[in-house]
Amino acid sequence: MAPLCTSTTIPFLLILLIHSVHSPAAAFYLPGSYPQRYRPGDTLAAKVNSLTSPSSKLPYPYYSLPFCTPQDGVRHAAESLGELLLGDRIETSPYRFSMLNNTTPLFLCRTGPLAPHTAELIKSRIDDAYQVNLLLDTLPVMRYVKNPIAPDVLLRSTGFPVGVRADDGEYYVYNHLKLTVLVNLQNGTTRVETLMATADGAELISFNGGKEGGGYAVVGFEVVPCSVDHDAAAVKDKNMYDEIASKAAAGCDPSVVGMRVQDNRSLVFSYEVTFVESSIEWPSRWDAYLEMGGAKVHWFSILNSIVVVAFLAAIVLVILLRTVRRDLAQYEELGSESGAQADELAGWKLVAGDVFREPSHPVLLCVLVGDGVRILGMGVVTIVFAALGFMSPACRGALVTGMLCFYLVLGVAAGYTAVAVWKAVRQGDIAGWKSVAWRASFAFPGVGFAVFTVLNCVLWYNGSTGAVPFLLFLVILLMWFFVSVPLTLAGGLIASRVRHIEFPVKTNKIARQVPAAQCSPWVFVAVAGTLPFGTLFIELFFIMSSLWLGRVYYVFGFLLVVLALLVTVCAEVSVVLTYMGLCVEDWRWWWRAFFASGSVALYILGYAVYYLLFDLHSLAGPVSAALYVGYSLLMALAVMLATGAVGLGASFCFVHYLFSTVKLD
């Protein structure tokens, strides 16, 4: 099978794009791989992923617990860069079954007597609610349980618990799996193959059923885990995949437990499988996993944000169309009269000679803006590709891989922006642009890499699969130095040779004294972050749930709209506060414009604390807390840089336009 995530991705995506443009009604969702078809009797092999837990953020290898191993040994599946960064470790499993062949309970293996430390390890994994994650044809296994509040409603989740702690305090392991495979009969050629054939790519399609005939495609994978007390003596001479007679296994009632975790006691594992023909089409098989719910909440968030945007836009229009034009008319009228009348001028017109004065710490400001543009560009491009369906969950880790690649390539934008702002601030003087470009290539990447290194060492120490392997760690370091840094310097070089932005007014040699303010302007800057935060806080809840509770986030269309509204609100807030500062004759607007929109990061940090206390109250251990705090701080810093760059850019355009209409003698 040739997965879509391989080298055929780009041409195939181009074909999809052209096809969707010319025939939008025929467009379809392609979740990331070609349909693999099976004939009756063909072998299917399930795989296993890392053990994960909603309360502990440390994934562990599946075979860190005494589970059954394949007869031919454990082999690692090919993993992408994103999978490794996310802590996925996909390996082969002993679960084998044949297409359309239902089985009775089959013996899998019998472990040796559990050593005390092994029994304690299993119990600790059960206490931390660790989940077993099986995969079949890239589909995670799904479990349905009754809602205790509404018994008629089924709750679904991927994976199943390692075991359960009973009311009597004893621990029981789920050692028998009742697996259900949903299959769909593929009649003839699918639209995927038809589309590929139009591009002379039909030979790329391959499936186990051959080119003639339809075959069956896997469209669902479900599990009912049970704890069955197998008779160890009865299975003593059994080989793997032999049938076993067990009334308890045949019933498989999840509410009844039997296989207790006890020192010096062996565990017996078994499974059974049932094939069910389903009407679910192969392109729709991920719908059950991607259906997040809460569509009304998303729409409410967007409508709420639109109201905020419209309100701020009205304020900006009033400033530009009424207040500014009125002030300009009065300025021109007084400027043509006597000097005594000109003394009656007040407000932003008096700071024309200082408004473009170089801000304090200009290098730092340029570096932060450059990194902010880079992060914003990475976010926009990634969300656009994800919204178009090019980063499917079937390609595990594709989203993280895409983000990393886009971030590296957009080093050009970071270097160009940082040096361009530097030249503008210095009014065309390019001296020192190399230092600015170098710092832009090391500022945020350096902070992010430092946090990543510390947390990775913590994961290494705890033996978690979330730790990035040392070789990949070196690869990331090399990509930073040999891809990101050169591209950032190249962007700076281009900006150094481009004509700088000229200011419409000249700067006085002596700075004008800023009048004392009754209230610190930074109070307004801090409060201004509430408006951008109000635009994204509902969507932030779903994103945090995806990051820390293992829920799937795939409503990137909503996220794209929210991002556009966020950028608009940040620009409007910064413009309004900049104008307010200039009206009180305070010309120091550069940093305030950056933090007016960037202060949303403070509220994101506050929300992260709230989420930790009320939604992640079951978070176990200081290591999980350290991971949460570290990555939350890094996320807030990235948001501050991106939104701050938007605010500064919008304010610069506003101030440049405003004073370009002023004529000085």
pLDDT, tens digit, 9 for 90 and up, residues 213-231: 468 999 999 999 999 888 7
Higher pLDDT among residues 1 and 511, named by residue: 511
Whether the Cβ atoms of residue 173 and residue 162 lie closer than 8 Å to each other: yes
Mean pLDDT of the 336-363 span: 71
Say if residue 445 is exposed, middle or buried (CB neighbours under 10 Å; 0-12, 13-18, 19+): buried
Q: What is the band of 77 on the pLDDT scale with cuts at 50, 70, 90?
A: confident
Q: Do the bridges between strand 176-185 and strand 216-226 make them parallel or antiparallel, or are there none, so unpaired?
A: antiparallel
Q: Give the pLDDT score at 339.
A: 45
Q: Give the pLDDT score at 593.
A: 95
Q: What is the band of 633 on the pLDDT scale with cuts at 50, 70, 90?
A: very high
Q: Residue 135, SS3?
A: strand
Whether the Cβ atoms of residue 562 and residue 608 lie closer than 8 Å to each other: no
**Separation of alpha carbons 179 and 575, rounded Å:** 59
Least confident segment among 364-373, 494-503, 507-516 = 507-516
Whether the Cβ atoms of residue 648 and residue 596 lie closer than 8 Å to each other: no
**Separation of alpha carbons 80 and 247, rounded Å:** 43
pLDDT at 356 over 50: yes
Instruction: Render the burial of 345-382: b for 16+ CB within 10 Å, e for the rest.
Output: eeebbbbbbbbbbebeebeebbbbbbbbbbbbbbbbbb
Q: Give the pLDDT score at 357.
A: 92
Reported as a single tens digit per residue, the pLDDT across 476-503 is 999 999 999 999 999 999 999 998 888 8
Q: Give the pLDDT score at 344.
A: 46
Higher pLDDT among residues 370 and 663, named by residue: 370
Q: Give the pLDDT score at 223.
A: 94
Which of 280, 202, 179 lies closest to 8, judged by CA?
202
Q: Give the pLDDT score at 202.
A: 36
Q: What is the band of 91 on the pLDDT scale with cuts at 50, 70, 90?
A: very high
Which of 93, 49, 56 lies closest to 71, judged by CA?
93
What DSSP letter does each residue of 412-451 carry, written as one string?
HHHHHHHHHHHHHHTTT--TTHHHHHHHHHHHHHHHHHHH
Higher pLDDT among residues 46 and 315, named by residue: 46
pLDDT at 510 over 90: no
Mean pLDDT of the 350-357 span: 88
**Separation of alpha carbons 280 and 273, rounded Å:** 19
Higher pLDDT among residues 61 and 212, named by residue: 61
pLDDT above 70: percentage of residues in the chain = 82
Which of 521, 532, 513 lies closest to 579, judged by CA?
521
Q: Tokens representing 604?
A: 């994101």
Q: Do the bridges between strand 268-277 and strand 176-185 make them parallel or antiparallel, or are there none, so unpaired?
A: parallel
Q: How far is CA 277 from CA 22, 46, 189, 218, in A?
A: 34, 19, 19, 9
Q: Containing H/E element for 144?
A: strand 142-146
Q: Give the pLDDT score at 333.
A: 62
pLDDT at 562 over 90: no
Whether the Cβ atoms of residue 638 and residue 444 lie closer than 8 Å to each other: yes
Cβ-based neighbour number of residue 188 at 10 Å: 8
pLDDT at 180 over 60: yes
Most confident of 70-84, 388-402, 493-507, 529-543: 493-507
Q: CA torsion, points 156, 158, 162, 165, in degrees to nearest 10? A: -30
pLDDT above 90: percentage of residues in the chain = 43
Q: How far is CA 10 from CA 17, 27, 30, 399, in A?
A: 10, 17, 14, 15
Alpha helices in 497-620 (DSSP H): 521-528, 530-548, 556-583, 590-598, 600-614
pLDDT at 578 over 50: yes
Least confident segment among 204-208, 521-525, 548-552, 575-579 = 204-208
Whether the Cβ atoms of residue 114 and residue 262 lie closer than 8 Å to each other: yes
pLDDT at 96 over 80: yes
pLDDT at 154 over 60: yes
Least confident segment among 155-159, 199-203, 544-548, 568-572 = 199-203
**Separation of alpha carbons 327 and 347, rounded Å:** 9
pLDDT at 351 over 90: no
Rg of the chain in Å (alpha carbons): 30
**Separation of alpha carbons 158 and 134, rounded Å:** 9
Q: Give the pLDDT score at 534.
A: 84
What's the sign of the alpha-carbon dihedral 506, 511, 516, 517? positive
What is the pLDDT of the chain when averaged over all its residues? 82
Look at the block and give the residue holding tokens 């589309």: 195
Kindly report the length of the chain: 665
**Separation of alpha carbons 538 and 299, rounded Å:** 10
Q: Give the pLDDT score at 480.
A: 94
pTM: 0.83
**Separation of alpha carbons 209 and 39, rounded Å:** 5
Residue 72, Cα to own-chain centre: how many angstroms?
36
Q: What is the band of 308 on the pLDDT scale with cuts at 50, 70, 90?
A: confident
Reported as a single tens digit per residue, the pLDDT across 415-428 is 999 999 999 999 88
Q: Tokens representing 567?
A: 């950028």
Q: What is the band of 315 on the pLDDT scale with cuts at 50, 70, 90?
A: confident
pLDDT at 190 over 50: no
Whether the Cβ atoms of residue 628 and residue 551 lie closer than 8 Å to each other: no
Q: Give the pLDDT score at 216.
A: 92
Which of 81, 66, 51, 57 lies closest to 468, judged by CA?
81
Whether the Cβ atoms of residue 526 and residue 591 lie closer than 8 Å to each other: no
**Separation of alpha carbons 127 and 364, rounded Å:** 48
CA angle 302, 304, 307 (to 5 degrees): 110
Q: Give the pLDDT score at 6.
A: 40
Domain spans, the chain: 37-190+213-284, 291-332+519-664, 360-502
Whether the Cβ atoms of residue 238 and residue 244 lie closer than 8 Å to each other: yes
Cβ-based neighbour number of residue 486 at 10 Å: 14
Q: Give the pLDDT score at 217.
A: 92
Q: CA torsion, points 609, 611, 615, 616, in degrees to nearest 10? A: -50
pLDDT at 391 over 60: yes
Q: Give the pLDDT score at 23.
A: 34
Q: CA torsion, points 478, 484, 488, 489, in degrees to nearest 10? A: 20
